[in-house]
Amino acid sequence: MKMTGAKIVIEALKKEGVEVAFGYPGGVVLPLFDELYDAPIRFILVRHEQGAAHAADGYARATGKVGVCIATSGPGATNLVTGIATAYMDSVPMVAITGQVKTFLIGNDAFQEADITGITRPITKHNYLVEDIKDLARIIKEAFHIARTGRPGPVLIDLPVDIQQQETEFVWPDKVEIRGYNPTYVGHPGQIKRAAKAIEESKRPIIYSGGGVITSNASEELRELATRNDIPVTMTLLGLGGFPATDKLALGMLGMHGTAYANHAIMESDLIIAVGARFDDRVTGKVEAFAPHAKIIHIDIDPASVSKSVDVDIPIVGDAKNVLGQLNKAVKKPDTAAWLKQIDEWKAKFPLKYNGSADKVHPQYVIEQIYEATKGEAIITTEVGQNQMWAAQWYKYTKPRTIVSSGGMGTMGYGFPAAIGAKIGMPHATVFDIAGDGSIQMNIQELATAVINKIPVKVAILNNNYLGMVRQWQELFYNKRYSYTCLGGTCPDFVKLAEAYGAVGIRVTKREEVRPAIDKAIATDNVVFIDFHVEKEENVFPMVPAGEAINRMIGGMA
C-alpha cells in the first residue's frame, strides 16, 4: 500500500511500540503533525524543544524504553541540542526526529534551515538525513535499533518536508543489518576465568557500579555477585539504585562528592570490579593517584570505554547482565572479613553528616524527609548543582531507575522536564524533581505542559538564593568572591508562579513545615512546587577538589 512519508513515520513508530512522543511543531513538520493529529500515539506538546528532549530522556531512563522527541527545522532542531547531548553523555536511548527544508533547498540557507546532522554528529550515536523516501522505513527501524542496542544513545533523523509529502509503498524490514555494527553481548570465557581468579585471590575487592548496570537491567546479577561473595559496592551518580543503598555492603556514591568511606575503600582496595562505569574525572579525581594498589577488572559493552582514562588489567567487553551472570557461575568466594571490618570502621568514623541545628531548614534534611515520606519508592529527578549532589547523598535509592539525573553533561534545567517524562512512563510512581532555584528557571515553562496534561509531578526547590554549587567553589577556591552567583532575593515568587500556571505552590521557611509540605504535595493531585527556603551558604561535603586524589577530601572527616 502506498503512503506518504509522514504516514510511514507514524506506522514505523507504531511498529516500534512507541506510545508517547514529546515535541513542538513548525512549518516543515506540518505533514508529520497532521498525521500525529489522529495517530494512536500520545503526543505531549511541550513549551520549548529542550523540554521535549529532556522529557523523552526522562521517560527513557525511568522505563528503559526508547524516548522519542519531534521538532521542526532550524531553531526547533537546535533547541533540541542540549537535550541530545545530555542523553548522549549518559547513554540514554532516544530517537529525535526533526523536520528539514525541502531536499532541493538544502545548503541554500533556506528559511529555518540548520545543518542539524552536522551539528549533532558529535553528540549522537548516529544520525541520518533522509534523502529518498524509499529509505525512510528502514532508517527508522535502524534508528531505534541503534538507539537501544549496545551502548545506547540518541539517534537523530532529519526528515525534509518534501519527503514527508511524497508517497511510496510501506515496507517494514524484518531485521536490521548494519555493517560494522555488532555489539558484543557475552563476555569472553577466558577473560571471565581470569576475572574470577582475581576476585577469588583478592583481599580487598570493591565493586564500582555505574549506569550500565541500570541500562542492562543487571541489578539482580550484581546483587548476587556482591552478597554471595561479601564484596562492598560503591556506585556512580548514574549507578545509584543498581544496588540497594540500604544493604550493609553498600557504600553510597564515590568520587568528588562521594562518601569518605567509598573513596577510602577505592583507594585502599586491591581489586576494583568496574561494571558499566567509565572512570570519568568526577570519579577518579587525579588519575595518577587513583587506586594505586588495585588491579582493575572492567566490564563494559563499549570497547572504546575500556582503558580510556585508567589502565585496565582485565577488560571484559559485554553486556553487564550477561557478564555478571557468567562471573557468578565462575567465582569462588574470597575472604573479605578483615576488609569489611575496616570499611565498617571508616563508616563509623566518617559518616555522611551535616550540621543539623534544629531551628534551620537544611537542604539535606528536606531530602531525608522526602525519603521518609516516600519510603524510598519515589522516582527522583534532579537539576544540577548542590541540589543534585544532596539528592545523590541523602535519598536512599533501593531500586534501579529511581534516580534520573544528568551526570555526564550536568545540564541545569534537566530535572523538571525529565520528571514529566518519567511520570508519563511510570504513572503510578510519585515523581519528585529535586531542584535548585537557578536550575528550575531554565525550563520553568514546562509548568504549562505538566498542568495542561495533568502530569502531577512534584518539585522541591532547594531555594538558597544562589547558584549554590558555583558559589561553593568560589567560597573554597576563589576567596569568597561571589562573582555573579547570587540570584538576588525572592525573585521570582515561586508560589505565585506555580499558581499562575494553575499548579499548587507551597512555601516553607521553618523546619517544622518541611514534612507537612511534602505530605501535602504527595496527597495533591496536581503539579506542586514547594519553595524550601534553605540555609543559603550550606556546602556539599565531602568534597574532593578538582584534580586531587579522591581520598583528599574536604569536610569528610569526623
Where along the sequence are the contacts to ligand TPP (CB under 6 A)?
A: 383-387, 410-412, 436-439, 462, 464, 466-470
Report the alpha-carbon distance of residue 138 to residue 132 in Å, rounded.
Answer: 11
Residue type, 5: G
d(CA 511, CA 359): 6
518 in Cβ contact with 432 (< 8 Å): no
Q: Which of 90, 207, 88 is nearest to 155 (CA)?
A: 88
CB of 425 to ligand TPP, least distance (A): 24
Q: Which does 402 bind (CB under 5 to 8 A by kind): ligand TPP, Mg ion, none?
A: none
Would you state the torsion angle of the CA atoms of residues 105, 144, 26, 76, taken in this order, to the nearest 10 degrees? -90
CB of 451 to ligand TPP, least distance (A): 22
Min dist CB 140 to ligand TPP, Å, is: 31
Distance of CA 355 to the CA centre of its chain: 29
Q: In the bound complex, which residue of the shown chain has the CB atom lying closest to ligand TPP?
A: 436
Give whichever of 158 and 531 is closer to Mg ion, judged by the CB atom.
Answer: 531
| 160 or 438: CB nearest ligand TPP | 438
Give min distance, CB of 435 to Mg ion, in A.
9
The partner in contact with residue 474, picked from Mg ion, ligand TPP, none with C-beta cut-offs of 5 to 8 angstroms by kind, is none
- In 46-184, where do the E strands start and end? 67-71, 94-100, 126-129, 154-160, 167-169
Nearer to Mg ion, 95 or 434 (CB): 434
Cis preceding linkage at 492, omega within 30: yes
113 binds, among Mg ion, ligand TPP, none (CB under 5 to 8 A by kind): none
Residue 104 vs 478, nearer CB to Mg ion: 478
Residue 26 or 438 with smaller CB distance to Mg ion: 438
Closest CB 392 distance from ligand TPP, rounded Å: 12
C-beta of 90 vs 437, nearer to Mg ion: 437
Q: Scan for cell 512555601, then name that residue.
A: 507
Among Mg ion, ligand TPP, none, partner that 542 touches (CB below 5 to 8 angstroms by kind) = none
Q: Smallest distance, Å, CB 367 to ligand TPP?
A: 11
Q: Which partner from the list ligand TPP, Mg ion, none does 23 bind, CB cut-off 5 to 8 Å by kind?
A: none
The strand pair at 167-169 and 2-4 is best described as antiparallel
Contact yes or no for 112/74 (Cβ under 8 A): yes
Number of residues engaging Mg ion in binding (CB under 5 A): 6
Smallest gap from residue 484 Cβ to ligand TPP (A): 9
- Dihedral, CA of residue 312, residue 317, residue 321 and residue 327, to nearest 10: -60
Measured CA to CA, the distance from residue 43 to residue 31 in angstroms comes to: 15
Q: Which is nearer to Mg ion, 24 or 466 (CB)?
A: 466
Distances (CA, A) of 478 to 68, 233, 470, 507, 553: 42, 35, 10, 33, 18
Q: Which of 242, 184, 222 is nearest to 325 (CA)?
A: 222
The listed partner (Mg ion, ligand TPP, none) that binds 219, CB under 5 to 8 Å by sort, is none
Selection from ligand TPP, Mg ion, none that 221 binds (CB < 5 to 8 A by kind) is none
Q: How near is the Cβ of 446 to ligand TPP at its closest, in Å?
A: 15
Q: Give the H or E element holding residue 530.
A: strand 528-533
CB-nearer residue toward Mg ion: 142 or 437: 437
Residue whose CB is less far from ligand TPP, 54 or 423: 54
Min dist CB 540 to ligand TPP, Å, is 8
DSSP class of residue 461 equals E
Which parts of 417-476 interact with Mg ion (CB under 5 A)?
Answer: 436-438, 464, 466, 468
In the complex, the residues that contact Mg ion under the rule CB under 5 A are 436-438, 464, 466, 468
